Amino acid sequence: MQELREKYLSAVADVTDEAALEEIRLAALGKKGEISLKMRELGKMTPEERQTTGKALNVLKDEIDAALRAKKAALADAALDARLREEWLDVTLPGRPRRQGTIHPVSQVMDEVTAIFADMGFAVAEGPQIEDDWHNFDALNIAPEHPARQEHDTFFMHRDEGDDRPPHVLRTHTSPVQIRAMLEQGAPIRVIAPGRVYRMDMDQTHTPMFHQVEGLAIGRDISMANLKWVLEEFCKAFFEVEGVELRFRASHFPFTEPSAEVDIRCSWEGGSLKIGEGDDWMEILGSGMVHPKVLEAAGIDPNEWQGFAFGIGIDRLAMLKYGIPDLRAFFESDLRWLKHYGFSALDLPTVAGGLSR
């Protein structure tokens, strides 16, 4: 017994890796190990010999097993220490920066436009993108024969045969939101209606889905002068210039009377857009005084109340501010478009980045 004890404890003490340690365990305590074989010989002994030898073998087995476990733990600790020395890491170093996404330029411009009008007392109104025929056309004084009410201009929702409900469309403007706001709140009222709109159009400067913000202000003494001031203040804030000059050109919209297209003085010298200077004019929006029939449709007496309305293309504003000539850059799902014009999806552009390309 003493020889076995010294043999295996010495071997365990001298071993240097876990593979050799496992071989020692099998040689001593495995099914065919020396100590296991001696345990099988107990059946051939007398009861007195069995009691004495069995006790000694169990003590020896436990001692060797404990030595094996201790050595295995020591080898694991040594391996870990060696790995820590080899794979040293300075935990005081700063973490690796992670690239972050950023807001889309159209969303960025929409948020900024909303903030500017909020400073002038305009609340935000919202409405459904699928509109009924009355809110989208009739309430806005758009005649049945108007081109906008034809399938080549507007997306009509499918109707099953026998479905006699009034037509529903993907809204062609956010003007229906104004109707809903007036019906709900009455007059006086001052709101803007930003959101997506849809038209059957697709070229370099038009897409079937785009974004608008329309404004509405109704009061007893509101005039075109108030409209001009609001638009001038907006343009100064949005384009970040101290002064702007607007030009109102007579136009026609079914929902306003009188109606006007609004141009802004600008310069394209050197390929960069500069607002408020130069000899060029650029159309930026449509506007006018709310038509009396629109007020009547919204339950407001046009003999007591009057007001103005305007509509601006959010995508167009983004193009002008950031010098993007092709509207499809926003919608082609190709990051190379935006990156080409200075809008990497993983960069952080600033609103006040200037107007030059």
- Residue ranges of the binding site: 257
CA distance 339 to 318: 15
Q: Closest Cα to residue 284, out of 312, 307, 305, 253?
A: 312
DSSP classification of residue 44: G
**Going by C-beta distance under 8 Å and a sequence separation of 6 or more, which residues neighbour residue 23?**
none
CA distance 197 to 335: 23
DSSP assignments along 261-311, one per residue: EEEEEEE-GGG--EET-SSEEEEEEEEEEEPHHHHHHTT--TTT-EEEEEE
Which residues partner with 189 through β-bridges?
A: 218
**Preceding peptide of 188 cis, ω within 30°:** yes
Tokens of 294: 């629109």
Angstrom distances, CA of residue 13 to CA of 10, 29, 35, 81, 276: 5, 16, 18, 19, 89
Angstrom distances, CA of residue 250 to CA of 155, 247, 256, 312: 29, 10, 11, 17
Read off the amino acid at residue 56.
Answer: A
Write out the binding residues for Mg(2+).
Answer: 257
DSSP classification of residue 252: E
